[in-house]
Amino acid sequence: MMDKVRVRYAPSPTGYLHIGNARSALFNYLFARRYNGDFIIRIEDTDKARNVETGEESQLHYLKWLGLEWNESVDKDGGYGPYRQSERGHIYDPLVQQLLDEGKAYRCYMTSEELEAEREAQIARGEMPRYGGQHAGLTEEEEKALVAEGREPSIRLRVPKDKTYTFNDIVKGDVSFESNGIGDWVIVKKDGVPTYNFAVVVDDHFMEISHVLRGDDHISNTPKQQMVYEAFGWEEPKFGHMTLIVNEDKKKLSKRDGSIIQFIEQYKDLGYLPEALFNFIALLGWTPEGEEEIFSKEEFIELFDEKRLSKSPAFFDKQKLTWINNQYMKEKDTETVFEMALPHLIKEGLVEENASEAELDWARKLVALYQEQMSFAGEITTLSEQFFKEDIEFDEAANAVISDEHIPELMTALHSRFGELEDFSPQTIKAAIKDVQKSTGYKGKKLFMPIRVAVTGQTKGPELPDTISLIGKEKTLSRIAKLK
């Protein structure tokens, strides 16, 4: 094994950065930093039909937003490039020819229709579908005849018979596969493009990757990749396959799962903090010692131990995510939280796009009022909706509060005292409520709960005098008057 730790995250630019890929990148990043190694980002872009124009840019942008820095990639050459597979044909081609020359690979001229017919017949017989090796021993004349028919060949690797491929997985321990269950597989497609399981081995070898940490869905690829290492006489890296992420129904997290937000871009747009998302993702399938769950990036690097990667599926707990983000939101400086929340207020038409300084100052106070409660910045629009409504709608709990027989007396006294205030600040409002308490004799829940419900429509919320001050004198008096 190589002395220096070198790991890679190798996305395909066929889509945008989602939770599963972000976790793979993050664990590789923590592993590299923990052992003073290198973290490489390589772009596997050979599937041109599925590539998204901004896919590569998006992947790098949101990895950077999450706080991941890399040692090498398309924007930082470390001497092992190119870092896009589409630019590495000059490396793959002679190696493919070497395998052909050594008889370890061969050209297969079977059509997709013939292969599909073979597959269906095997399934009908209850067999595991695999290529039967029909073109594994073609003579030169037979090949010429097939070429004359206009057939384009793929290139297949000869799979050794009766061989067991084993590896000691960092997460799972000893894993083995029987070669007889794997037919000769394609290393170069008919269009001349190397397949994933061939190209990834070549790239990992020449980039001197020491450890391959990836999702559990790749484990069945490992024996095929071992065959390529074996064919060239190369040393294998150490493999580790992280368990799947599952939803509340214990089903594998899927991009089509509408119950969970999938893409990092969406979390950024909703107003989640990158350091909170980093914290949450780092706990998806990895557990630190002790009960603490909030750590800085530097603490995660110091604590990270690959032996503590979970063998059980990682549960995506939405409530835990909002709790973690709330912990970070509470500690963030108010100006940053305001800058994150303002676009959401503008989008909903609650604050003018070209708001005056006075309006922005009001909005800043509004965000500060709810900072302790906010799970993410976009939540400000629902938390503060009572500030923008003319009429309040009372729910069952609120109606129970304002139906008490003392409410008209309390509201009459409150309306009179608030009406006298020239300075409608939290301090004067607090003093006025105290005066009403003395004059009416109502205190505690009999006093504060009805005031909150009358003015906000809610039974709980942030500091009452601050809330009333921000709602404003005119709107407050109007709401109280309806319950006199």
Task: Strand 105-108: give its sheet, edge to edge.
Answer: 105-108, 154-157, 185-188
Distance CA 102, CA 478 (A): 89
Distance CA 226, CA 236 (A): 7
Q: Do 296 and 275 meet the contact criterion of CB atoms below 8 Å apart?
A: yes
Active site residue 255: yes
The bridge status of strand 245-246 relative to strand 314-315 is parallel
The bridge status of strand 185-188 relative to strand 211-215 is unpaired
Per-residue model confidence (pLDDT) at position 390: 81
How many angstroms separate the Cα of 478 from the Cα of each of 210, 418, 470? 70, 11, 14
Per-residue model confidence (pLDDT) at position 284: 96
Query: Is residue 190 helix, strand or coil?
Result: coil
> In sequence order, which residues have a C-beta less than 8 Å from that of residue 131 and are 6 or more positions away?
108, 115, 118, 156, 183, 184, 185
The bridge status of strand 238-242 relative to strand 105-108 is unpaired
Strands (E), 112-208: 154-157, 164-169, 173-178, 185-188
How many angstroms separate the Cα of 153 from the Cα of each of 27, 147, 191, 199? 39, 8, 9, 18
Residue among 264, 278, 268 at smallest CA distance from 18: 264
Which region holds residue 36: left if phi is over 0, alpha if psi is between -120 and 50, else beta?
Answer: left
Indicate the residue type of 443.
K
Residue among 225, 301, 213 at smallest CA distance from 34: 301
Query: Is residue 294 helix, strand or coil?
Result: coil
Question: Looking at 48, 76, 255, 330, which residue is catalytic?
Answer: 255
Beta bridge partners of 84: 43
Per-residue model confidence (pLDDT) at position 54: 87
Per-residue model confidence (pLDDT) at position 253: 80
Per-residue model confidence (pLDDT) at position 187: 97
Beta bridge partners of 175: 167
Strands (E), 170-286: 173-178, 185-188, 211-215, 238-242, 245-246
Per-residue model confidence (pLDDT) at position 425: 96
- Residuewise pLDDT in 10s, the chain (484 residues): 457 999 999 999 888 899 999 999 999 999 999 999 999 999 999 887 788 888 899 999 999 999 999 999 999 999 999 999 999 999 999 999 999 999 999 999 999 999 999 999 999 998 889 999 999 999 999 999 999 999 999 999 999 999 999 999 999 999 999 999 899 999 999 999 999 999 999 999 999 999 999 999 999 999 999 999 999 999 999 999 999 999 888 888 877 766 788 899 999 999 999 999 999 999 999 999 888 999 999 999 999 999 999 999 999 999 999 999 999 999 999 999 999 999 999 999 999 999 999 999 999 999 999 999 999 999 999 999 989 988 888 889 989 999 999 999 999 999 999 999 999 999 999 999 999 999 999 999 999 999 999 999 999 989 999 999 999 999 999 999 999 8
Q: At 6, which helix (H) or strand (E)?
A: strand 6-9
CA torsion 52→53→54→57, rounded to 10°? 100
Q: Do 59 and 73 meet the contact criterion of CB atoms below 8 Å apart?
A: no
Q: Do 61 and 70 meet the contact criterion of CB atoms below 8 Å apart?
A: no
Distance CA 214, CA 211 (A): 10
Looking at the chain, how many residues does it have? 484
How many angstroms separate the Cα of 49 from the Cα of each of 189, 354, 397? 14, 43, 56
